[in-house]
Amino acid sequence: MKTINILGCCVSRDLFGLFKDNGGFDIKQCITNISPLSVCSPKLSENIICTESDFPNSNHYIQRCTCLDLNKNVFEYLSLFNADYTLIDLGILFFIYTLKVKMPDDTVTYITYKDGLKQNPEFLENAPFEIIEKFRFPDKKELFFDYLQQYAELIKEHIPEEKMIILELPLTQRFIDKNAKIDYFSTECTSEGIPENSARYFDTSLICRYLKRAYKLFEKYFPNAHVIKCPDTEVLCNQNHKWGLHPLHYTIEFYQYALDAIRAVAFIGDTQNEKIMLKSLQNAYTEILRAKYFSVANSYNLQNLSVISSNYVDFGKKLTICFNGEGGTGCYTYTALVKRKNETVWKKLGEFKKGSVQYRPVFCGAYEACVKIKDTNNVEIKKFFSFVVK
């Protein structure tokens, strides 16, 4: 089994975590959502600034990444395991806030405004430094570009180019909502700027072209790295995503594409054939995305075509509920439920991948049945039936 380290944002971890057994890879060292300015700037102190116990309101992973950021030992941690490949993305430029801070000796440096700090505000209230400024990539893009070369040089010091996989992330202002309709992220901004906790706010116009510029620079810095390009069409975000609506939470096809591309890199072993396969995958998923999401404007083509065997059932006999679906991602889970007409609580008959299920009513009278179809985008369509037991 090939081993993977990760240095980037949530997308690079998600694309493994959304599939059984991490898609067949062994994930070793994983560090996400840390600002390049923090990684490249001076230490806050020669001593350890914090330990995981300083962030009791956060889970273990957030504690660890927050400590790695504040103690400035990201690459020391990555180097603890020499993985077959390190997956790198620049989603860290996308939404992460950076803090400019000053130490008592007037040393100025940068740290990442990570979840560990947000969830444990008392740490910043008692921190041994002063916060001077808080900003994102679009606010100080040239400063970030100045640091990107330093960031690339640090990466090159610790990771051989032939072991780097650079994953380009798509940007979009649209998403599939809970009703399977294509909607836009809001571009309205409060007087205080972008609402930090609003997943529905996103303005690609601020950073899209700058992020593309950053990826071009990385390709220039690492000419021998493996590069996974974005599909050549819009990639929609997904309100039904396992971890909720976010501008970096995509429909399932992007993760399938990225995973297939990583498999190509990991197992082909020939540079020329790898490039051919990566281009072929990019073209194939471009067509898949166009056909599924953009053949009909502002619609999602998942259909629930399930049926029941009859609208009338003789007492003591069984009703058959047959599962069928079309569109969406083509991989479905069906849930079957029944209840008497005058009842409010549904009885769940189970979850199924295909086929049918039989139900034997225990009373005469009017009944209702429901079949839910859900695809791997977690888009769900319900279909209701009525039948009478006589």
Angle between helices 271-293 and 252-268 (to 10 degrees): 170
Whether residues 226 and 316 share a domain: the answer is no
Residue 115, CB half-sphere, CA atoms under 13 Å: how many?
A: 16
pLDDT number for residue 372: 96
Residue 119 domain-assigned?
A: no
Whether residues 50 and 168 share a domain: the answer is yes
End-to-end CA, the chain: 58
How many Å apart are CA 86 and CA 141, to the nearest integer? 26
Range of 352's domain?
303-389
Residue 108 domain-assigned?
A: no
How many Å apart are CA 86 and CA 78, to the nearest integer? 9
CA distances from 76 to 46, 68, 155 (A): 15, 9, 11
**pLDDT lower than 50: segments of the chain:** 189-200
Residues 36/92, Cβ–Cβ less than 8 Å? yes
Residue 130 domain-assigned?
A: no
pLDDT number for residue 187: 57
Whether residues 269 and 362 share a domain: the answer is no
Whether residues 80 and 174 share a domain: the answer is yes
Residue at which a domain ends, from 293, 315, 330? 293
pLDDT number for residue 284: 95
Dihedral Cα 280, 285, 290, 291, nearest 10 deg: 100
| Per-residue pLDDT tens over the stretch 270-301 | 889 999 999 999 999 999 998 888 876 556 77
How many Å apart are CA 38 and CA 69, to the nearest integer? 7
Whether residues 360 and 247 share a domain: the answer is no
User: Starting from the edge strand earliest in sequence, which strands make up the sheet with 174-176, in order?
Assistant: 182-184, 174-176, 237-238
| Counted domains in the chain | 2
Whether residues 337 and 189 share a domain: the answer is no
How many Å apart are CA 66 and CA 78, to the nearest integer? 14
How many Å apart are CA 136 and CA 169, to the nearest integer? 18
The CATH number of the domain holding residue 172 is 3.40.50
pLDDT number for residue 193: 41
Residue at which a domain ends, from 268, 293, 318? 293
pLDDT number for residue 199: 47
Whether residues 330 and 222 share a domain: the answer is no
Give the tokens for residue 270.
């020939």
Report the relative pairing of strands 3-8 and 26-32 from DSSP bridges.
parallel
Residue at which a domain ends, from 241, 273, 293? 293
DSSP label at residue 47: S
3-class DSSP assignment, residue 103: coil
Residue 149 domain-assigned?
A: yes
pLDDT number for residue 192: 41
Residue 381 domain-assigned?
A: yes
Whether residues 314 and 332 share a domain: the answer is yes
Residue 267 domain-assigned?
A: yes
Dihedral Cα 131, 149, 6, 95, nearest 10 deg: 50
How many Å apart are CA 218 and CA 309, to the nearest integer? 59
Angle between helices 141-158 and 208-221 (to 10 degrees): 30
Report the relative pairing of strands 130-135 and 164-167 from DSSP bridges.
unpaired
Residues 68/116, Cβ–Cβ less than 8 Å? no
Give the tokens for residue 363.
């009373």
pTM of the model: 0.80
Best CA proximity match to 306, nearest among 338, 354, 339, 345: 354
Whether residues 280 and 360 share a domain: the answer is no
pLDDT number for residue 296: 63
| Per-residue pLDDT tens over the stretch 106-132 | 889 999 999 999 999 999 999 989 999
Whether residues 224 and 311 share a domain: the answer is no
pLDDT number for residue 179: 81
Beta partners for residue 98, in sequence order: 112, 135
Whether residues 42 and 187 share a domain: the answer is yes
How many Å apart are CA 385 and CA 342, to the nearest integer? 14
How many Å apart are CA 305 and CA 373, to the nearest integer? 9
How many Å apart are CA 130 and CA 140, to the nearest integer? 20
Residue 110 domain-assigned?
A: no
Report the relative pairing of strands 174-176 and 108-112 from DSSP bridges.
unpaired
Residue 365 domain-assigned?
A: yes
Angle at 64 between CA 58 and CA 68, to 5 degrees: 130
Whether residues 235 and 314 share a domain: the answer is no
The CATH number of the domain holding residue 313 is 2.60.40.10
